[in-house]
Chains A and B, each alone.
Chain A
């Protein structure tokens, strides 16, 4: 798949100067995202009035003691909505980078082992935590983060030949290592059957107990990542010409690939460690953005990140609202929305041939 020549789109010049349409899309995106955030904070299983939200914000920012309803708004709902936005943005950004680097529309942030590694680390801690105090202290988020990075490093090490990192080898190594870790996760899940419900819920992802600290941590990773990847958007455009073509135009292909994959993996691991493995966002949002904006990554990346944020906030809103106050794991919502969309995309691609 990855060796296929990229589809040339001559009518879409990779220019960095956005046209009027793009400015409109960006402006509409920002307005829509703000609206989504406001709605998601206003609506929940507990009904609050706008003045409660206002006083919660005022007191929360001032650090004053909060009444119960204000606590719900400031300590639970604000971090929840913001974290969902950051995770959605991070996954969509990482997905856009992976699809760009691999020149493969099927690529998603979990392709080369992030999810299976993170899942294995988290399940290891959750299943053995009760009997192994050291693991309990480490905690699932840290274990997920570390294992995700370690897994991707292992995959890159295995795929590398000489100084080069052939994409086919990377995908193959990623798939096989993912299978291995998934098998390990399944084994732990069976061995710790009494906790299987909780572990499965973590694997499906969710924002139930999001904290301001998590918001801060993820923002500290995701925002610089967006800036860094954005600075390499021209390199991503060049990579679409094929690695040889990009090298001819003066791009340090191997170094660029490693840097982009490294940053995308880092934000993915950070997102997974705070929210679990939430599927489809990293796959479908970049596609939607590409359909609307074309390939130039200078436009694609920020729009994908903002749309990913909005999509995830809406998905979480749906997850906590559809049978409130009972929650649906958000991964089920994104998959239910994302799955059909992806199949439609797949079918459309097949019909083009």
Chain B
């Protein structure tokens, strides 16, 4: 028995580095369908999206970051780095001046073309769902030679979501309306936030037919009368009192029972960034919807 275990351990030790270390050059396909090839583990990485910054650090490559976008504020290790504008207003000269060998950008930023022209390797994309978040973390692990850390992280996140799901298996899911801004724009199926709502044991009143980011008729919200209203626009000054003062909204169940939740800036960041704080996002939402359970 002991001999078998020893043999197994030995085999694993032999295999592990081979299985979970990147063989460069490595090529992956980004969200724009481009081939992204790295010939060695990048030593100078720039992230132009807060969720990318978090993901790079979460797979253990924080030390390779040399610059980030203006909104990147987590983890604390990145706050001292040079800021380079944001995804849609980048400071191209400042990025190039840092001499990065790998840059992560949003697929809609258009940054890949000018950087590529200068010979810099660029990954253009961002996860839009929970499944894509896992896939992106795995891809990032491969690109940055952090496959083990990425696999452990993905396993932990899946475990956290599975844990929440098992706790909520026999619990009723309350209805919720999420407000992105006071117009009100909301989120529906197809969006990352909608998946978080489901994972946290709630039912979004916005349906698939309405699209992932609909401008919702206020009448519809009154008719649905959701148990919760989440104000992700609270950091911009929208309050529960504002909601109560809206025509016809004062008598809503969520208003009357004090379940209009003003989301703070940190939570709003976590909810909007598809990355390694996925488990934290679901736990925070679950704590809102099921205060006795979480």
Contact = CB atoms under 8 A, between A and B. Distances in A.
Interface of A: 44-46, 66, 68-69, 71-72, 74-77, 79, 126, 129-130, 136, 190, 193-195, 197-198, 201-202, 206, 208-212, 320, 324-329
B216 to A, nearest CB: 6
A326 B217 contact: yes
B216 A197 contact: no
B247 interface: yes
Contacts of A206: 183
A44 B217 contact: yes
Between B216, B219, B223, B248, the greatest number of chain A beta carbons within 10 A of the residue's beta carbon is seen for B219
A334 to B, nearest CB: 16
Q: Which 4 A-B pairs have the closest CB atoms?
A: A198-B181, A325-B220, A75-B248, A326-B214
B188 to A, nearest CB: 9
Task: Classify the interface of chain A: helix, strand, loop or mixed.
Answer: helix
A229 B273 CA distance: 55
B108 interface: no
A106 to B, nearest CB: 31
B180 A197 contact: yes
Contacts of B180: 197-198
A325 B216 CA distance: 6
B32 interface: no
Contacts of B110: none
Interface string B204-224: 000000110011111110110
A197 B219 contact: no
A129 B236 contact: yes
A45 B233 CA distance: 24
Given A44-B219, A76-B247, A208 B210 contact: no
Contact of A79 (B88, B211, B247): B247
Contacts of A190: 89
A72 B237 contact: no
Contacts of B195: none
Interface in B129-174: none
A198 B183 CA distance: 6
